[in-house]
A and B are shown apart, each in its own frame.
Chain A
Amino acid sequence: MVDFNGWDMPVEYSGIIAEHMAVRAGVGVFDVSHMGDIQLAGPEALAAVQHISMNDASRLAIGQAQYSALLYPKGTFVDDVIVHRLGEEEYLLVINAGTREKDFTWVRDNTRQFDCRVENLSDDFTQIAVQGPMGVNVLQKLTDADLASVKFYWVTRGTVCGLKNTLIARTGYTGEDGFEIYIPSDEPTSARVWNEVLDAGREFAAIPCGLGARNTLRLEAKLPLYGHEISDTINVWEAGLDRFCKMDKQDFIGHESLARAKASPMVRTLIGLEMIDRGIARDGYKVLDSSGKEIGYVTSGSYAPFLKKNIALAYVPPELSAVGSELQVEIRGQGVKAKIVPAPFYKKPKKS
């Protein structure tokens, strides 16, 4: 167990590699209750969301979700977020654990001008993620909702483990198909549902998964982690999250800075690295060019259990970011050869 942003969480239950492979091959179950939940509801809820979020929430049908980010006026990240449209005038933002308080304060303070209630529901929900190609099979055993009709990044409500009107979202942080359910946070309910999910998953070899596998899974899929690929000093273009940033929608916080940044040369860009020589590139390690000069740094790096390679994400100057280029990562004082590869490193197989 480790302290993760003030939460006591397991790094692993049975082993990071086994847990990682369970998610890729079948199903893994994560307790992600540390994530935060902010609800915006009211006649101007959409306007409020549009003001603080860089993606275009007006495209969301009821029951649809999208990946986005809350930005500072300078175009850097307050946090990344999944915006869910739960009703005509109701939105749910699911945010990172480490930024719960900061995000809520930010959202509340920057939406006061809108006719909209902003509520911090983070402590009201236990959130359980059931991830992997067989996740749908497991969850279907526990709910009357027709999960086959819920497309990826859509949500529904149904009775789950006897709990009526439970929010079920086809979302996740693993690069696989899967669901996240939001249930009442009291301990008896949470424990009961957790155990029922694992019981239902037994025939699919489901196992509980911790922070270690959560990190290796999202890294293979190039999903950003706040404080690493995105932060308050990195802008949207550098992080490569252009497709989630709708500059042509109405003005949002950060728009002006981003427009200016787009018109100027980029200082750094996020790339994927694969180690060529023996060594594991880890968070914070320096990236060097082939002459040994320091040119950037690793934001996240690890052994990748599914790919069976040592991979990393890193920031380097754009002129040195061509796929195929050979760079080095400084590991224990030595430059170790690596090459720039396309990322995401892993994409889930298309369902036939």
Chain B
Amino acid sequence: MSYPADFKYTKEHEWIKADGATATIGITSYAQESLGDIVFVDLPKPGSEITAGKTFGSVESVKAVSDLYAPASGTVAEVNGELATAPEKINKDAHGSWMVKIKLKNPDELKSLLSPADYEKFVSEEGGH
């Protein structure tokens, strides 16, 4: 599995792509594979605040509910409405299925996140993938 070079990653299997003052967030391919068929996504409304390390929503597969943890703090600017009716898109293309776009409160927070190489290493140690 290759993890996009321009993303940063968390140990909770989220990815974040910064673009100046805004960032896009989703979950990794490893996450969607562990979850199985995704059938429901619960995301915050535009305008809400999310805080790095805290839950900001949840993603559900047939068998399990999984919290989403914010990779960085900020204000939700946009939510991917497609995922309300077609959550399975995340299974098909996790890195291409963004969940929320936020206005970053403190872009420096991304410095402490995992690089693609570090994330790949973390995943291979965790799951033997």
Interface residues of A in 1-46 (CB under 8 A from B): 11-12, 15-18
**Known A12-B36, A15-B37; contact A278-B63, beta-carbon cutoff 8 A:** no
Which one of A11, A282, A310 lies within 8 Å of B36 (CB-CB)? A11
The CA of A274 and the CA of B5, in the complex, are separated in Å by 43
CB distance A16 to B40 under 8 Å?
Answer: no
Query: Is the CB–CB distance between B36 and A303 below 8 Å?
Result: no
Q: With an 8 A cutoff between CB atoms, is B58 at the interface? A: yes
Interface residues in B, total, Cβ within 8 A: 12
Please tell me if the beta carbons of A303 and B39 are within 8 angstroms of each other in the complex: yes
Q: Which residues of A contact B37 (CB under 8 A)?
A: 15-18, 305
User: Do B62 and A305 touch (CB < 8 A)?
Assistant: yes
CB distance from B2 to the nearest CB of A (A): 22
A303 contacts B58, C-beta separation under 8 Å:
no
Tell which of B37, B39, B60, B63 has the most Cβ of chain A within 10 Å.
B63
Contacts of A172 in B (CB 8 A): none
Number of interface residues of A (CB under 8 A): 17
Expressed in whole angstroms, the Cα–Cα distance for A212 and B35 within the complex equals: 12
* Complex Cα–Cα for A43 and B14 (A): 65
Known: A280-B60, A332-B58. A303 touches B40 (CB 8 A): yes
Interface residues as binary, A180-219 with B (CB distance below 8 Å gives 1, 0 otherwise): 0000000000000000000000000000000010001000
- B36, B40, B60: which contacts A15 (Cβ < 8 A)? B36
- Distance to closest chain B CB from A57 (angstroms): 36
Q: Known contacts being A212-B62, A212-B63, A302-B62, is A280 close to B40, with CB within 8 Å?
A: yes
In the complex, the answer to whether A278 meets B40 with C-beta atoms within 8 Å is yes
A303 and B62 contacting across the interface, CB-CB below 8 Å: yes
A302 to B63, CA, bound (A): 8
How near does chain A come to B104, taking the closest CB pair, in angstroms? Answer: 26
A332 CB to nearest chain B CB (Å) = 7
Query: How near does chain B come to A275, taking the closest CB pair, in angstroms?
Result: 10
Chain B residues, Cβ within 8 Å of A11:
36, 63
Cβ of B65 under 8 Å from chain A: yes
A158 at the interface (CB under 8 A from B): no
Complex contacts, A282 vs chain B, CB 8 Å: 65
Residues of A within 8 A of B65 (CB): 280, 282
Q: Judge if B117 is at the interface, Cβ distance under 8 Å.
A: no
Rounded to whole Å, the gap between the CB of A105 and the closest CB of chain B is 32
In the assembled complex, A279 has its CB within 8 A of some CB on chain B: yes
On chain A, the residues within 8 Å of B62 by CB distance are 16-17, 212, 216, 302-303, 305
Q: Mark B24-64, 1 if CB is under 8 A from A, else 0.
A: 00000000000011011010000000000000001011110
User: How long is the Cα–Cα vector from A83 to B6 in the complex, in angstroms?
Assistant: 61
- Whole-angstrom distance between the Cβ of B45 and the nearest chain A Cβ: 13
Chain A: CB-nearest residue to B87? A303
Contact between B36 and A278, CB atoms less than 8 A apart: no
Interface contacts beyond A278-B40, A279-B42: sample of 11 additional A-B pairs, CB < 8 Å, sorted by A: A15-B36, A16-B61, A16-B62, A16-B63, A18-B37, A212-B63, A280-B40, A302-B62, A303-B60, A303-B62, A305-B62
Interface residues of A (CB under 8 A from B): 11-12, 15-18, 212, 216, 278-280, 282, 302-303, 305, 310, 332
9 closest Cβ pairs, A-B complex: A303-B39, A16-B62, A17-B37, A212-B63, A303-B62, A15-B37, A280-B40, A16-B37, A280-B60
